[in-house]
Amino acid sequence: MNKLQIICVDDQREVLAAVKKDIEPLTEAFGLSVCESAAEASEVIEELQNENKPVALIICDHIMPGENGIDFFIRLNREPQFKHTKKMLLTGLATHQETIKAINEAEIDMYIEKPWVQEEFLNAVKKLITRYVLETNTPYREFEEYLNRDELQKGGK
């Protein structure tokens, strides 16, 4: 089976480096791609789809040049193949109205403010990947140690 994929999108390289460092313990079990724009992320997603590699989680910054994170997630939401893909929005500057739009239209699964606490961030990532695994009935025995145990128990597995 192909590794489940995590994609992180942020126009700031230092944020991408921080995300990469914070979720490094998971990269043994999951693929990780980092992108500096929504356009680059779309290209990576297309490549992964062509390679039949499922995208379990997309972590995306809110404020970016070009297409912002909320609009990127809204666009992905229109594509049925991303029905189960989990979406985490990173931001330090969202207004109340933008947060409502992210929840209602982009159907984000989690909202994380910058700066984050590494352990909480890693646990959030594990929780979302576990939800993806359970919703898609993905066999997970070979990477179970990287998943969130509480979510697994809730899922009845």
Spatial separation of the C-alpha atoms in residues 62 and 105, rounded to whole Å: 14
Task: Say yes or no to pLDDT of 24 above 90.
Answer: yes
The sign of the CA dihedral 65, 38, 34, 78 is positive
Spatial separation of the C-alpha atoms in residues 35 and 115, rounded to whole Å: 19
Spatial separation of the C-alpha atoms in residues 51 and 3, rounded to whole Å: 11
* Token couple for 152: 């697994």
**What pLDDT score does 157 carry?**
46
Task: Say yes or no to pLDDT of 70 above 50.
Answer: yes
| Residue span of the structural domain in which 133 resides | 5-154
Q: How many domains does the chain have?
A: 1
Tell me the C-alpha to C-alpha distance, in Å, between residue 117 and each of 56, 68, 93.
22, 24, 17
Q: Is 151 helix (H, G, I), strand (E, B) or coil?
A: helix
Closest CA to 4 of 142, 99, 120, 98: 142
Cα 37 → chain centroid: 14
**Mean pLDDT, residues 37-41:** 97
CATH number, domain with residue 70: 3.40.50.2300
Which helix (H) or strand (E) segment holds residue 107: the answer is none
Tens digits of residue pLDDT in 71-127: 999 999 999 999 999 999 998 766 667 777 777 778 899 999 889 999 999 999 999
Q: Angle at the Cα of 117 (from 56 to 85), degrees rounded to 5? A: 10
Tens digits of residue pLDDT in 45-55: 999 999 999 99
**What pLDDT score does 101 carry?**
75
**Alpha helices by DSSP H, the chain:** 13-22, 38-50, 69-77, 96-104, 118-135, 149-154
For the chain, percent of residues with pLDDT exceeding 70: 96
**Mean pLDDT, residues 21-32:** 96
Spatial separation of the C-alpha atoms in residues 15 and 143, rounded to whole Å: 26
Please indicate whether residue 115 or residue 57 has the higher confidence score (pLDDT): 57
Averaged pLDDT score across all residues of the chain: 92
